[in-house]
Amino acid sequence: MKVFSLASGSKGNAYCVESQGVLLLIDCGLSCRELIHRLGSAGYDAESIAAVVFTHDHSDHIAGVESFHRRYPMVELNATMITAEAIAQRSGLTIEDFYTFEIGQEFATGPFLLESFGVPHDAADPVGYVVRADGCTYFHGTDIGTPLESIGRQLSRADVAVLESNHDPVMVCNSPRPESTKRRILGARGHLANDECAQLVRRFASQKLKHLFLAHLSQQCNTPELAEKAARSALAEIGRSDVALEILLQDKPSSVFCGVMQPQIV
């Protein structure tokens, strides 16, 4: 399994998992042209994508899906029924364009086995994902308002994880943003603060975890240094300073993490 980000942040999100030369795309918040360009810079092409799965219906996660689907109609689009309906209402797609699933339902696409889990966010039906392939387990959790134990239990399964570390609360409060926006970000269905991300890592990162990507950093109300400091402190507290840590950026792809197949117990 290989994992990398094409874009992470409020201007667009797209993340990739690769197995056996096949790509799974998580969210499609870039234009089709930009998505193809960034895939190329990471050494991949869009023809390798078997499916897209969506976390929720906000524009920074779905902005490119209509043009992408027109160009690549054979690529599966996967979402919960409620999210599929919401995306259809906000685009030129129809519900018939989607394969739908229920939260918690396990389903397969290409070489990937996926399981969704609910997250608190102010969207129609937001989810995170656990993806398994090649003996490795990937956790995907962005746009999370509260660091719930149920989310942590999914994180504890991971060999590699993408986890939101969106903001510093003091920077949010001191920002010139409208008060309604501040309340949304800081609310129970908003976004994870750095210390809340660190809390999940501290409590639930297991001995399996090899690589942690910090995602969806606010460009106005956070800094890579603050997010990294909080996460590294949490990892050090649990004796996991060996975990590789990387900040995901809005403007360019990340490095490609290559997961190591876990030995099978017989």
Domain assignments of the chain as residue spans, ordered by start: 2-258
Instruction: Give the percent of the chain with pLDDT over 90.
Output: 96
Amino acid, res. 48: S
**CB-based contact 40:33 (threshold 8 Å):** no
Residue range 24-30: mean pLDDT, rounded: 98
Separation of alpha carbons 10 and 29, rounded Å: 9
228-243 pLDDT per residue, tens: 999 999 999 999 999 9
174-207 pLDDT per residue, tens: 999 999 999 999 999 999 999 999 999 999 999 9
Mean pLDDT, the chain, integer: 95
Residue 63 has what pLDDT?
Answer: 97
Burial class (CB in 10 A: 0-12, 13-18, 19+), 232: middle
Produce one character per residue of 16-28: b if its CB has 16 or more CB atoms within 10 Å, e if not.
bbbbeebbbbbbb
3-state helix, strand, coil in the chain (%, to 5): 30, 25, 40
Query: 2-258 maps to which CATH number?
Result: 3.60.15.10
